[in-house]
Every structure is written in C-alpha cells, then in structure tokens.
Amino acid sequence: FHLGEELLKSESLGGDSVLKNLWQHQDAILCCSLKAGLDMLETTLVALQDITLDKIFDESGRKALCSDFTKLMQQGFSHLLAGVCMSTMGRHVSYEQAVAW
C-alpha cells in the first residue's frame, strides 16, 4: 500500500547501500518480506547484487517486468503479478506478488 510517504528518507541513504537500509528498516513486515525474498531466491543480501534478471525470471516474467519498466522508473517501484522464478540453486519458486524497486 502506498501511504504517500517515502520508504527511506534521503538522509538515511548516506554511505550505506539502499538494500542494507531496507534490511535494517524499523518496519518488521518489510524486513520479513525482504528476508523471505532472499530465502526464496536462496541468496544473501551481499550476493543479491550479482543476480541478473535473466537468471531468475523466465521469458514471461521478463516480459512482465519489461512492460512495467516505465512505471518502475517513474514511480520507483512496480507490482508484479503472480509467477514463477528460479532460485540461484536452479529450483523453481512460485510467488503470488512481487514488488520491484
């Protein structure tokens, strides 16, 4: 849900990475969701930056993301509908909804 408030304040984006700030965010639901996503992809926060979209999304997943790319760039985030992706270990993982930012 968008409450008209930025997730991270500009002063919180100092020298640390955005993902580290999200990981340590005070909102427990967000932290659990991010941790669940990392578990689902069978990766770590550090290794997440090395994962490319072609490694986790199939053709239909990449098309869905590309069709929302303009919205992603304008709003800073986009919701992806249910689909299947691959973990870094090559296992299929289904998801009900994802948020790309």
Average pLDDT of the chain to the nearest whole number? 78
CA atoms of 83 and 20, how far apart (whole Å): 26
pLDDT at residue 22 is higher than 80: no
The span from the CA of 53 to the CA of 91, in Å, is: 15
pTM of the model: 0.58
Strand runs (DSSP E) across the chain, as ranges?
Answer: 78-86, 92-100
Mean pLDDT, rounded, for 76-101: 84
Q: Which of 31-35, 68-72, 78-82 has the lowest mean pLDDT?
A: 31-35
